[in-house]
Structure 1
Amino acid sequence: MASSTDDREALIDPGALASFLAPVRGRLLVGVVLSGISAVVALFPFVAVAEIGRTLIEDGGAERAWTWVAIGIAAILGRTLLYGSALALCHYADADFRHHLRVRLVRHLATLPLGWFADHGSGEVKKAVADDVKNMHTIVAHYAIDLTSAIVAPLAALVYMSTVDWRFALVIVAYIAVVAAIVAPSSKRAYLTHMDDYNRAQGELGATAVELVDGIEVVKTFGEGSGLADRFHRSVDRLTEIGLLWTAAMGRPWTVMNLLFFPATMAVVICAAGSGMIGLGWIAPVEVLPFLLVGVGLPTGYLQIGQMANSLRESRLAATHLGRLMRLPGLPEPDRPQHPEGARVELDRVTFSYRDGHPVVADVSLTLEPGTVTALVGPSGSGKTTLARLISRFWDVDSGSVRVGGVDTRDLPSAELLSRVAIVFQDAVALRETVRDNIKLARPDATDTQIRAAAEAAQLHQRILQLPDGYDTVLGENGAHLSGGELQRLTIARAFLQDAPILLLDEATAHADPDAETQIQDALARLGAGRTVLVIAHRLHTVTGADQIAVLDAGRVVQLGRHDRLLSADGLYRRMWTAQHTTEGARL
């Protein structure tokens, strides 16, 4: 296993947090100044009590005592006003910080290739926009002013005690320094040893929890034999084990330190030191009082700084993750955008790879004519879905070009390209919005008449009317759900409303039952009329009527033609056709 230093370098980017805080740095500095002043002012009530005691014991001067009473009351009010102002200022800064950071994140995410979202899913977006921004909240709203108080308050107390007797102040500082020097290194070692492991264990638990939820049907069907539950339990046990080790390793030194810095312990130390100094004739008995009132709280700031270390680390981890996300290159927009003519799609010697040296699409040339249907078939992993997504520019090709209407997709504005391509993939998605809003995603300004026409064309209108509130039904609430086939028809309704000249279909009937498949196929037939259609097919009988069928194998087009010609040739297509029909016959 790598050393803890290497782990920290891998987990945290130096300077990431500071770069994100730059827009609110000015307000944070003002908050720090107010907090620093309030920390000094907060000392005066204790000084006032000490001075009142000294005054009454030494000379009984009531007038001077009342002066200190007034100073103490004014200090309490002033500290409340100053710290409250600092806290309010930093919280307002935090609200602006989170708002602007989330807006910046969403705008950057909008520039990323669609393929990034296909690879990472919603969990990565949720972590960045919600969790990471939330983890940075404490740094902006509290950390700066609390850290300032933790530093300034002991220093101000030390200055005051030095004015009373510098030797006594030095004894207290020496005690605190010795305790810290003995205990702090073991606490730091325990922190650095276990914190990275704890963070990784948390990440593993989150991943296995998502896997368990996504695969809950498998778990319930096959029980422990599925392996998902075992992985989840192992992740929980791993996190618990590391948490216990970390708590034990950190707990021992922190318990010792808190005990030695406890106010009662400090009072005993101060009384012992004071007795010795009184015996030596260095100070008068009354001069012990300021140290008892102020000195007992001197280690508090040190303890606060230690407790804030974890919040700082979480914020740095969050900032590192956000920084790496923000550095991801967005899909470049053309400097001189061009506009396509027609709906012809041309793939010219296209090569693409997810990793260097491992192409998933290799030297593919294919032309899709308007008003025709082109089918992509081939074994799993042959590059069918990747090739289809390159047309809508989920990613940019490594070499070659994809042209729509005679224009390279890299020379088309992304919004215009996507407006010309309607996509119906096999995994239909519905937002937790009304049915109406789900359909009009394709065209936000669509009228109710247009939305209804799209639903009717997708053979979904009658089903929508059966929902509790018809088109105003919020999907996912109060038991309002659509089946897999109905969700697919919802996606088709969006495509009808979009009315794009190019249509990409990725096995849209893969998860549908026979009745739903018939309805989906009828809707798709109407949707594809007169358009440039590309169909990804796993079941070959669904594309026998295609104008051309491209057979892919290992990212290359190995056969191209109509069904009859491909079936008569001795090639991959005929072997796949024979295999599928043999399997279906065996099932019957």
Structure 2
Amino acid sequence: MIHMLLRVLGHEYARTMRRAMALMTITATAEGLSYALLVPVLRALLGGSPADAWPWLVAFGAAVAAYAVLRYTSDLSGMRVGTTMLRGMYHRLGEHLARLPIGWYDAGRVGEVSVMAGRGLLAAMSVAAHLLAPFVSAVVTPLTVVAVMLVFDWRMGLAALAGVPVVAAIQWWTVRSTAATDAERHQRDHEASGRVIEYLQAQPVLRAGGRTTERFTLLDDSLRGMQRASRRTVLAALPGVVGLTVVVQALFTVLLVLGAYLVLGGNIGAAEVLTILVLAARCADPLLSLSDIGGKLRGARSELDRLDQVLRTDPLPEPAEPIEPAGHDLELASVTFRHGDRTVFDDVSLSVPQGRRLAVVGPSGAGKSTLLQVLARFYDVDAGAVRMGGVDVRAIDTKVLMERIAIVFQHVYLFDGTIEENVRLGRPGATEAEVRAAATAARLDEVIERLPGGWETNVGEGGSLLSGGERQRVSIARALLKDAPVVLLDEVTSALDPVNEAAVHEGIERLMAGRTVVLVAHRMRTVQRADRVVFLDGGRIVEEGTHDELLRRGGRYAGFWEVSHHEAAPG
């Protein structure tokens, strides 16, 4: 558990965590050692000269005060480490996620990561700030007390020491027996959370279809499954809890019987036995708390384990000696790319000269959007090479590569903030005049003028408060502001109304001017303006040439063109 926590924290925070753990251990040891002063105190009080207890009482009070200072410092250190670590871990997780291949983010994993970013990081902070100190105290303080017992009477000390492996074995057995049920409970919890979200999101469809009863059943089933999994977890942990309680009570009984035997035999004083029994009773509370702390640590461990798996996922490798591309032409050289078991590209080669436009068309599922993602190095190819300016993109520093590429996606995502903040993401250091000029070029100024808040209008999460066309104009303004030499466009007008389509086309024309462009499109209006067209299907380039050349050939592209025009013609 501790090893995993340190690995998750990384080198920057692991050192701080080790210092905090060292302070926790010192504090727990000091607590155990302070109890040793009870022996001379009780010996004096129960002996012939009770006044002799005063110096020992003063020493005991000083030891308790020193322990209180250590405990305050230790707890404060744990809290500070926890909060500092939480902030740092958000940055570390975010930076790591930003370097993972886009293919890693499937539909289920995005939701899992969002939960992990909440529960996982909070679990790590909880361990550092709230659980680690009690756990260290529950382990170290009883061991220190056992050492004190050995010093005062080796027989009583050995009897107490004999219980240590039994307690450790119970804890180990509890962890092993609950591992499977803990995993099942998390799975059921994740499933139930997904069902709740699904039920809420599907309300319009369900009510329109009158199918709410069935959906209630699915949700209820998942909640019942979570309840059964939680019950199994409790039943799996119960023998360990009961076993630990029985062992602690049995150990105290053994010490009581042994102490009485030794006192009656004259081998030890009653004060010493009474003191040792007080120490043993004081050990019972932290030992019994191991069950509760252990359960919380197991829950935190499962979250840390998932966080650890994400952080250990290999990101796209960075070049040891980055190379600056000399130009901005693009090339795919005999590229083969597989996504899972599916071969998306099979020995595909194409080139886009600097400052020219390439249109990519083809049926759905042909890999058109993936082609753009490969060019932007969202994935690394399995064979062949993707080059910019004659340099393999794997040899270019990722930051440099991204600075040279502007991407406008079909489905635009805007961050929850103002319109201006979303546009400025293209180039945060841009002047106000440059931001306004980009907005005008994208015809975003028309949108801003009719919004009550103007530039300060909040777009909502994902841009939900704007229409699809308005979001697309923000995206184009962002790309224009970035002023990158390479532009990748992914079917940006496929779902727009005629008015927004015309405005977006105007913005796109300004964006493409003088740049190297690869565009994926279904609408032929944009394709006609391309310098070259490739028809992609089945992981291969089926046809390639200019728009007019491909029409004259009468092949797949010509059929695609004819169908598109037929659909666009008024009925």
Q: TM-score range by the shorter chain?
A: 0.7 to 0.9
Counterpart position of 1:337? 323
Distance verdict in 2 for CA 1:503–1:36, change over 3 Å: closer
Report the residue type matching 2:228 in the other structure. Answer: E
Of 241, 249, 255, which aligns to 2:236?
A: 249
Counterpart position of 1:444? 428
Report the residue type matching 1:39 in the other structure. Answer: A
Distance verdict in 2 for CA 1:269–1:509, change over 3 Å: same
Report the residue type matching 1:335 in the other structure. Answer: E
Secondary structure, in 3 states, of the residue corresponding to 2:425? helix
Map residues 260-299 of structure 1 onto 2, 5 A cutoff: 261=248, 286=271, 288-299=273-284
Counterpart position of 2:188? 201
Counterpart position of 1:7? none
Of 416, 420, 423, which aligns to 1:432?
A: 416
Counterpart position of 2:224? 237
Equivalent residues of 2:33, 2:145 under 8 A apart: no
1:135 aligns with 2:123: yes
Q: In the aligned structure 2, how far is the partner of 1:411 from the partner of 1:485? A: 37
CA RMSD, Structure 1 to Structure 2 (Å): 4.1
Q: In the aligned structure 2, how far is the partner of 1:47 from the partner of 1:294? A: 8
Equivalent residues of 1:375, 1:543 under 8 A apart: yes
Equivalent residues of 1:377, 1:538 under 8 A apart: yes
1:57 aligns with 2:46: yes
Report the residue type matching 1:56 in the other structure. Answer: L
Of the structure 1 ranges 497-506 and 534-543, higher mean CA displacement relative to structure 2 is found in 534-543
- Offset at 1:214? 6.2
- Offset at 1:426? 0.8
Report the residue type matching 1:83 in the other structure. Answer: R
1:302 aligns with 2:290: no
Counterpart position of 2:76? 88
Report the residue type matching 1:66 in the other structure. Answer: W
Distance verdict in 2 for CA 1:57–1:338, change over 3 Å: closer
Superposed CA offset, 1:287-338 (max 9, x none): 5532442222323333344433345443475256435534514343372513
Q: In the aligned structure 2, how far is the partner of 1:28 from the partner of 1:562? A: 63
Equivalent residues of 1:190, 1:246 under 8 A apart: no
Superposed CA offset, 1:6-27 (max 9, x none): xxxxxx9x95444446555655
Distance verdict in 2 for CA 1:467–1:553, change over 3 Å: same
Report the residue type matching 1:418 in the other structure. Answer: M
Q: In the aligned structure 2, how far is the partner of 1:410 from the partner of 1:181? A: 51
Of 393, 413, 417, which aligns to 2:377?
A: 393
Report the residue type matching 1:308 in the other structure. Answer: I
Of 362, 375, 382, which aligns to 2:359?
A: 375
Of the structure 1 ranges 182-191 and 493-502, higher mean CA displacement relative to structure 2 is found in 182-191
Q: In the aligned structure 2, how far is the partner of 1:231 from the partner of 1:426? A: 33
Report the residue type matching 1:349 in the other structure. Answer: S
Distance verdict in 2 for CA 1:533–1:29, change over 3 Å: closer
Report the residue type matching 2:323 in the other structure. Answer: P
Distance verdict in 2 for CA 1:404–1:471, change over 3 Å: same
Counterpart position of 1:6? none
- Offset at 1:459? 1.6
Equivalent residues of 1:350, 1:364 under 8 A apart: yes
Q: In the aligned structure 2, how far is the partner of 1:395 from the partner of 1:181? A: 47
Distance verdict in 2 for CA 1:560–1:158, change over 3 Å: closer
Of 152, 171, 191, which aligns to 2:140?
A: 152
Counterpart position of 1:190? 177
Q: In the aligned structure 1, how far is the partner of 2:19 from the partner of 2:348? A: 61
Distance verdict in 2 for CA 1:78–1:537, change over 3 Å: same
Equivalent residues of 2:334, 2:384 under 8 A apart: yes
Report the residue type matching 1:322 in the other structure. Answer: D
- Offset at 1:242? 0.7
Report the residue type matching 1:383 in the other structure. Answer: G
Of the structure 1 ranges 560-569 and 427-436, higher mean CA displacement relative to structure 2 is found in 560-569
1:469 aligns with 2:453: yes
Equivalent residues of 1:38, 1:78 under 8 A apart: no
Q: In the aligned structure 2, how far is the partner of 1:502 from the partner of 1:403? A: 12
Secondary structure, in 3 states, of the residue corresponding to 1:299? helix
Distance verdict in 2 for CA 1:217–1:562, change over 3 Å: farther
Equivalent residues of 1:361, 1:386 under 8 A apart: no
Equivalent residues of 2:408, 2:490 under 8 A apart: yes
Q: In the aligned structure 2, how far is the partner of 1:418 from the partner of 1:34? A: 45
- Offset at 1:198? 2.2
Equivalent residues of 1:488, 1:520 under 8 A apart: yes
Distance verdict in 2 for CA 1:363–1:119, change over 3 Å: farther
Of 442, 459, 462, which aligns to 1:458?
A: 442
Distance verdict in 2 for CA 1:529–1:48, change over 3 Å: closer
- Offset at 1:491? 0.2
Superposed CA offset, 1:336-369 (max 9, x none): 513333x5433333322224x7420122233335
Of 409, 419, 432, which aligns to 2:403?
A: 419
TM-score, normalisation: structure 1: 0.81
Counterpart position of 1:8? none
- Offset at 1:474? 3.5
1:318 aligns with 2:304: yes
Of the structure 1 ranges 77-86 and 267-276, higher mean CA displacement relative to structure 2 is found in 267-276
Of 527, 533, 541, which aligns to 2:517?
A: 533
Superposed CA offset, 1:505-543 (max 9, x none): 111123323332232223223333343333212345663
- Offset at 1:243? 0.7
Q: In the aligned structure 1, how far is the partner of 2:406 from the partner of 2:13? A: 42
Distance verdict in 2 for CA 1:370–1:211, change over 3 Å: farther
